Structure 1
Amino acid sequence: MTVGEQDGPGRRQVLKACAGIGAGAAALAACERAPARDTGPPRAEAERDRPGTRDWRLRSQGPPDAVAGYTDRVSVTPGEEVGLHVSTTAPAFRVSAFRVGWYGGTQARRVWSSPRIPGRVQPAARLLPDTRTMLTDWQRTMSVDTTGWPEGAYLLRLDADNGHQRYVPLIVRSTRTAGRTVLMHAPATWQAYNRWGGYSLYAGESGAYADRSLAVSFDRPYDDSGAEKFLVYERAAVVLAERLGIPLAYTTGTDVDRDPTILTGASAIICLGHDEYWTPRQREHVTRARDAGTNIAVLGANTCFRRVRLEPGDTAADRTVVCYKTAYRTDPSYPAHPAMVTTDFRQAPGADPESSLTGVLYEGYPVDAPYVVHAADHWLHEGTGVRQGEGFDHLVGVEYDRVTPSEPTPAALEITAHSPLVCTGRRSHSDSAYYTVPGGAGVFATGTMRWVEALMAGTPDAGRDHGMDARTAAFVTRTTENLLHAFAAGPAARHRPAPRPNAHQVYTI
């Protein structure tokens, strides 16, 4: 599949108030018994070890208008207030704030609950015709005070009196990241795929690409459960990282765009399972952190593929994600500001392929293929017992990246997995790759979007496991543990074996 084809039709449409998970029940029990390697500060350890609850999941979504909501800020710092805008057909509802983490395997802790709040049906959404942007003018239902909430990734669950529920995601972000591993959440990508109201950056109400939004607004709920992209591509990595006990920080791509200092001194930045939409400033700030010695792990594919712009909404700054894609000639930035034109990073004007940062280049969709180990003796695979050429069914998908030597690619790059595949009739490969830079940072990219999903394969929490089994989950889990422990220890080039450059050898065989 060519890059140009992927956008066609049919594409992925508070009042104040285990590591071993993927390996099945036996491994989960072992994880709860085994002492974790805990290098985190005492407060982080205390939070991880607090009792959690399994009652964080949705039991009934009901029809789309049963209950839905959104926050007026993508993230807040601990102690800040955030407005919650809710519409429901029920006479009343309650809100519970669940912090996602290890918590003895329960995966969440209820941090706060509201009293019963009167419900109301808010006005219908409106469409901005110039950019086909769907947004609401809902009144603020309540103000949520986050005093006492630890930094982290949260699911606000709306429980309506009619028995139906929805999530509203919220990141309580860190104010400093020095010496910590930063989990960088991807709300711009969540919003790009959000179909609520009938419009996303992929399709309009008719389902056609030609009628898609050119800009999407955070002033509306997310579709489906209210937090689908977080649940599928991010939650399992949060649970694993917290179980390990390494010092963690939380932020979002929109925060990294806004604050050039937020990554200063960070040990590592973790890009999660699907982090496609970046601003040029976000990329600049992440690249600057890498060059200063901050490691980067890309636990997905299609990362840093789209160039976007954040613009104000009606109520606040950074409430609109702009991406004209193939209609870039109608972008107001064209042609005067080529580096800001919202098309793919690799496309003119201002072409700057993502591979110079990630080491790999996005190539295609859809695909389903085994993940094939190429460097079994790499430090990433310590303790996995894998052999050269060993495969893990279904781990490559649904999108994939590969090393492309003809594009900007770090010279000292080592391919650690080289997985044959067929995508829309064309033979190719997906690659995992590792490289280092003179400042000492290591960068690793998995080359597959299913990496985070695989962490919970074979368990009741797997959701869409795509046929991946507990063996695959155990391999991905141990490899990710090795990666996170190594990157948390500082610039990887200083304490892990250097890459053994092999890209040209692999692609001339």
Structure 2
Amino acid sequence: MIRRWESGALAHAVSDPFGQGPLPWLRGSEHYFDDTGQVVPWYVDHAPAPGARRVPAPRPSGPRMADDVHRQIKGFTATGAVAPGEAIDFHITVDPPQQFSVDIYRIGHYQGDGAAHITTSPRLSGIKQQPPLTADRSVSCHHWWLSWRLQVPSYWNVGAYVAVLTTVDGFRSHVPFTVRDERRADLLLLLPDVTWQAYNLFPEDGRTGASLYHAWDEQGRLLGEREAATTVSFDRPYAGAGLPLHVGHAYDFIRWAERYGYDLAYADTRDLHAGRVDPARYRGLVFPGHDEYWSVPMRRTTERAREHGTSLVFLSANSMYWQVELGPSPSGVPDRLMRCRKRRGPGRPALWREIDRPEQELMGIQYAGRVPEPSPLVVRNADHWLWEATGAHEGEGIEGLVAGEADRYFPRTPLPEHEGRVLLAHSPYEDAEGTRRHQETSLYRAPSGALVFASGTFAWSPALDRPGHVDPRVQRATANLLDRICKHD
């Protein structure tokens, strides 16, 4: 039996110590505790052994979360980001078959609620779809029948949306999607759906699920990276509650930025890959969360953006680490499969830095390692305009801001061409082996005039708008950066 905290999602959730942030439709917990205080695995049927204490049933607290074993209700969209006026197709399984409804929410500030309810579907008839297909550890549900087509009205705002699926008998799951357009805006927010899919272990059932990190063998043992999938499909739900791991980082930035009125456009990183992003339309591209997996076209377009004066803002760490390829689904739909060979077998390496294209050549710093316990971010160059009016002083530590994973400057790795460069933090921490390491935050100006900022830590976006993690110094520093990019006085 795999314990819940050993499963793929939570094994990597140690690098996301912040949870999802406030989402108004999430009122219950995905798991519960028995009377010994231990987490009970949510996908194990709780038939007590003879003489064992009976595990209490979950306390009712509104709708119950669907799981990947029973798949009471699970779904995904068969398209990437869509524009107002276009349709988005939902493929949903319901077990046992029954009616269900779909509530659509848009992520934003909304007076602190975190999202707004936009519309509700008619009552829909649910069917139990066929089990997921597997091939060489890759899992796909591309054969599921169409369940509902949402025609996105032309008046909807672009943004990050979540479809909340609820069965008549009270089970719930989620499907994230993006509404985009091609209008000019100050900032383009790129939601990291490529990285989200790399971590997706659906179905997280102890048998068939697989991500680029984990898979199970025939005995239900969780396997590591060397035996995980090398190809993952976008044609499947996200594991667990249906929201991607690390999605909260993007939502944190969105709530904060919309609260203060920044002019945002939205797209997925697959839009960046497919050439649907024209960087010339924006003053800056913002990568708000963990954005680890990049294709060659994604990097090429981002480098071209910098060369033509569009600024780049990386608000997390461990960005642009693995190189991936995107390909069509078995039915020929583009960009529905992602391949990353990682370290399996001979051939070309999959790390950007191992093919002489280190991340630092674009971002100014690059991934250094995990941070097992949150540590202070130690301010450097406090007289720089980024720290202006933040109240931060030279050598001051901002508690808990170095967390999850960290980047730093590598002296032996080439830097990008620049006309000015500054390190804005230098923060010591200890890795899991007790070795002393350090994190750094970087900013440089490219010859084109573009600014390139890299926070170098997972904790930056949560410090903008996540209860318990908000830091006014980080909020003001981010505003100083974006205001300068957007040329606001």
Asked if TM exceeds 0.5, the reply is yes
Q: Name 1:100's counterpart in structure 2.
A: 107
Q: Which deviations, in whole Å up to 9, do the C-alpha atoms of 1:289-338 show, x marking residues without a partner?
A: 11111111100000111100001112411001110011263xxxx5xxxx
Distance 1:61 1:449, change over 3 A: same
Equivalent of residue 386 in structure 2, options 380, 386, 389: 380
**Structure 2 gaps, min length 5:** 1-7, 29-63, 204-208
Q: How much does 1:174 deviate?
A: 2.0
CA distance in structure 1 between the aligned counterparts of 2:158 and 2:126, rounded to whole angstroms: 29
User: Percent same amino acid at aligned positions?
Assistant: 33
Q: Do the aligned residues in 2 keep the contact of 1:256 with 1:263 (CA within 8 Å)?
A: no
CA distance in structure 1 between the aligned counterparts of 2:172 and 2:277, rounded to whole angstroms: 38
Q: Name 1:322's counterpart in structure 2.
A: 339
Distance 1:363 1:10, change over 3 A: farther
CA distance in structure 2 between the aligned counterparts of 1:433 and 1:366, rounded to whole angstroms: 18
CA distance in structure 2 between the aligned counterparts of 1:301 and 1:162, rounded to whole angstroms: 41
Q: Does 1:127 align with 2:134?
A: yes
- Give the CA RMSD over aligned residues: 2.3
User: Structure 1 counterpart of 2:160, which letter?
Assistant: A
Q: Do the aligned residues in 2 keep the contact of 1:323 with 1:342 (CA within 8 Å)?
A: no
Q: Name 1:157's counterpart in structure 2.
A: 164
CA distance in structure 1 between the aligned counterparts of 2:349 and 2:91, rounded to whole angstroms: 30
CA distance in structure 2 between the aligned counterparts of 1:10 and 1:224, rounded to whole angstroms: 11
Equivalent of residue 323 in structure 2, options 302, 307, 314: 307
Q: Name 1:448's counterpart in structure 2.
A: 457
Moved more, 219-228 or 183-192: 219-228
Q: Do the aligned residues in 2 keep the contact of 1:9 with 1:208 (CA within 8 Å)?
A: no
**SS of 2:280 mapped into structure 1:** coil
Q: Does 1:421 align with 2:433?
A: no
User: Structure 2 counterpart of 1:201, which letter?
Assistant: L
Q: Do the aligned residues in 2 keep the contact of 1:274 with 1:449 (CA within 8 Å)?
A: yes
CA distance in structure 1 between the aligned counterparts of 2:267 and 2:294, rounded to whole angstroms: 14
- TM-score where L is the length of structure 1: 0.78
User: Structure 2 counterpart of 1:173, which letter?
Assistant: R
Equivalent of residue 25 in structure 2, options 52, 56, 64: 56
Q: How much does 1:9 deviate?
A: 13
CA distance in structure 2 between the aligned counterparts of 1:234 and 1:80, rounded to whole angstroms: 24
Choose between structure 1 and 2 for higher RCO, CA contacts under 8 A separated by at least 6 residues: 1
**SS of 2:12 mapped into structure 1:** coil
CA distance in structure 2 between the aligned counterparts of 1:418 and 1:296, rounded to whole angstroms: 21
Q: Does 1:253 align with 2:269?
A: yes
CA distance in structure 2 between the aligned counterparts of 1:10 and 1:165, rounded to whole angstroms: 20
CA distance in structure 2 between the aligned counterparts of 1:401 and 1:391, rounded to whole angstroms: 17
Which has the larger helix fraction?
1
Q: Which deviations, in whole Å up to 9, do the C-alpha atoms of 1:344-369 show, x marking residues without a partner?
A: 1011xx32001111111101014332
Q: Does 1:285 align with 2:306?
A: no
Q: How much does 1:163 deviate?
A: 1.3
Q: Name 2:173's counterpart in structure 1.
A: 166
Q: Which deviations, in whole Å up to 9, do the C-alpha atoms of 1:188-214 show, x marking residues without a partner?
A: 100000011220000111321232000
Equivalent of residue 215 in structure 2, options 204, 221, 240: 204
Q: How much does 1:252 deviate?
A: 1.3
Q: Name 2:31's counterpart in structure 1.
A: none
User: Structure 1 counterpart of 2:99, which letter?
Assistant: A
Q: Does 1:361 align with 2:369?
A: no
CA distance in structure 1 between the aligned counterparts of 2:359 and 2:164, rounded to whole angstroms: 36
Q: Which deviations, in whole Å up to 9, do the C-alpha atoms of 1:394-423 show, x marking residues without a partner?
A: 211111100112102135320001101111
Q: Name 1:352's counterpart in structure 2.
A: 357
Q: Do the aligned residues in 1 keep the contact of 2:246 with 2:289 (CA within 8 Å)?
A: no
CA distance in structure 2 between the aligned counterparts of 1:149 and 1:381, rounded to whole angstroms: 37
Equivalent of residue 441 in structure 2, options 419, 426, 432: 432
Q: Do the aligned residues in 1 keep the contact of 2:285 with 2:312 (CA within 8 Å)?
A: yes
Equivalent of residue 228 in structure 1, options 241, 244, 253: 244
Q: Do the aligned residues in 2 keep the contact of 1:214 with 1:322 (CA within 8 Å)?
A: yes
Q: Which deviations, in whole Å up to 9, do the C-alpha atoms of 1:257-290 show, x marking residues without a partner?
A: 1116522231000011200111011111011011
CA distance in structure 1 between the aligned counterparts of 2:94 and 2:398, rounded to whole angstroms: 44
CA distance in structure 2 between the aligned counterparts of 1:326 and 1:135, rounded to whole angstroms: 23
Distance 1:297 1:58, change over 3 A: same
Distance 1:310 1:455, change over 3 A: same
CA distance in structure 2 between the aligned counterparts of 1:328 and 1:9, rounded to whole angstroms: 25
User: Structure 1 counterpart of 2:484, which letter?
Assistant: A
Moved more, 134-143 or 405-414: 405-414
CA distance in structure 2 between the aligned counterparts of 1:422 and 1:416, rounded to whole angstroms: 20
**SS of 2:404 mapped into structure 1:** strand
**SS of 1:397 mapped into structure 2:** strand
**SS of 1:199 mapped into structure 2:** coil
Q: Name 2:12's counterpart in structure 1.
A: 12
CA distance in structure 2 between the aligned counterparts of 1:269 and 1:175, rounded to whole angstroms: 14
Q: Do the aligned residues in 2 keep the contact of 1:367 with 1:421 (CA within 8 Å)?
A: no
Distance 1:446 1:297, change over 3 A: same
Moved more, 297-306 or 424-433: 424-433
Q: How much does 1:97 deviate?
A: 1.1
Q: Which deviations, in whole Å up to 9, do the C-alpha atoms of 1:44-73 show, x marking residues without a partner?
A: xxxxxxxxx984335431433121100001
Q: How much does 1:114 deviate?
A: 0.2
CA distance in structure 1 between the aligned counterparts of 2:481 and 2:149, rounded to whole angstroms: 39
Distance 1:10 1:245, change over 3 A: closer
Distance 1:70 1:179, change over 3 A: closer
User: Structure 1 counterpart of 2:314, which letter?
Assistant: V
Q: Do the aligned residues in 2 keep the contact of 1:191 with 1:216 (CA within 8 Å)?
A: yes
**SS of 2:297 mapped into structure 1:** helix
CA distance in structure 2 between the aligned counterparts of 1:282 and 1:270, rounded to whole angstroms: 13
**Structure 1 gaps, min length 5:** 1-7, 14-21, 23-52, 335-340, 463-467, 496-509
Equivalent of residue 389 in structure 1, options 377, 392, 395: 395
Q: Do the aligned residues in 2 keep the contact of 1:397 with 1:449 (CA within 8 Å)?
A: yes
